[in-house]
Amino acid sequence: MLRDTTKRILDVAVSSVALVVLSPVLIVIGVVVASSSRGGAFFRQQRVGRDGTPFTMLKFRSMTTSQDTRANAFTPGQRHRITTVGAILRKTKLDELPQLWNVLIGDMSLVGPRPEVPQWTKVYPKRWEVVLSVRPGITDPASIEYRDEESILASAEDPDACYRDEILPRKLDLSEAYVRNRSFLGDLAILIRTVVAVFGRRTGPSPPIQRQSQP
């Protein structure tokens, strides 16, 4: 499909240039992360990609290591494990920069539904079939709307229930809408919105999207 080919060409071009240009920054961040706490520079975790294919997603490590992370799990609301350096990386989204490698090798795209760990793709499986029909991305409308997700989960009585019953359904609303309406210009708009969300003034959440009935 021409649209997918164009998107892939853009992904390869941007990620390869960005990795070269940002290589000094990546090296400095890696050294700072590795020297500030135990666990190395990178966080590697299995995520579910296009057509349900698992892949290893990279991030700069922003939390202390735990058995859960080594077991490819995701436990919402564990803010106490975020390191001092990690808090800065998360706020500026610099922890996501290693995913440019995932984009270059074809696991991810610059824009697309954020990849989940296997445990959460088993919840609402019919909806995930739609979302996983495209490559996951570094940014998407859901990641913009829920850029303060950690704060929401940290204040919840039951973080797991909050994520499963409130946040995840809304993310799937946004991801399904992206899959239905994706376009080259739409992706550029999401990239701009991401920059504004990270470095600009905070705005309110997007209005709810009416969910389609499931077959």
* Domains contained in the chain, number: 1
Residue 202: its pLDDT value, please?
Answer: 53
Residue 203: its pLDDT value, please?
Answer: 45
Q: How many C-alpha atoms does 212 have within 13 Å on its Cβ side?
A: 12
In a domain, 88, yes or no: yes
Residue 183 has pLDDT above 80, yes or no: yes
How far apart CA 61 and CA 86 sit, in angstroms, is 7
In a domain, 212, yes or no: no
- Mean pLDDT score, 85-102: 94
Residue 102: its pLDDT value, please?
Answer: 98
Residue 211 has pLDDT above 70, yes or no: no
Position 173 confidence tier, pLDDT thresholds 50, 70, 90? very high
In a domain, 44, yes or no: yes
In a domain, 208, yes or no: no
Domain that holds residue 172: 2-199
pLDDT digits (tens, 9 = 90+) for 14-27: 999 999 999 999 99
Position 80 confidence tier, pLDDT thresholds 50, 70, 90? confident
pLDDT digits (tens, 9 = 90+) for 32-75: 999 998 889 999 999 999 999 999 999 999 988 765 544 455 55
Residue 148: its pLDDT value, please?
Answer: 85
Position 210 confidence tier, pLDDT thresholds 50, 70, 90? very low
pTM for the full model?
0.85
In a domain, 206, yes or no: no
Position 81 confidence tier, pLDDT thresholds 50, 70, 90? confident
Residue 134, judged by CB atoms within 10 A of its CB (0-12, 13-18, 19+), counts as: buried
In a domain, 45, yes or no: yes
Please, which contacts does 33-42 make with residues 24 or more away whose CB atoms are closer than 8 Å? 33/60, 33/61, 33/62, 33/85, 33/86, 33/89, 36/83, 36/84, 36/85, 37/64, 37/83, 37/85, 38/64, 38/65, 39/64, 39/65, 42/98
In a domain, 214, yes or no: no
In a domain, 205, yes or no: no
Highest mean pLDDT among 38-52, 146-160, 195-209 belongs to 38-52
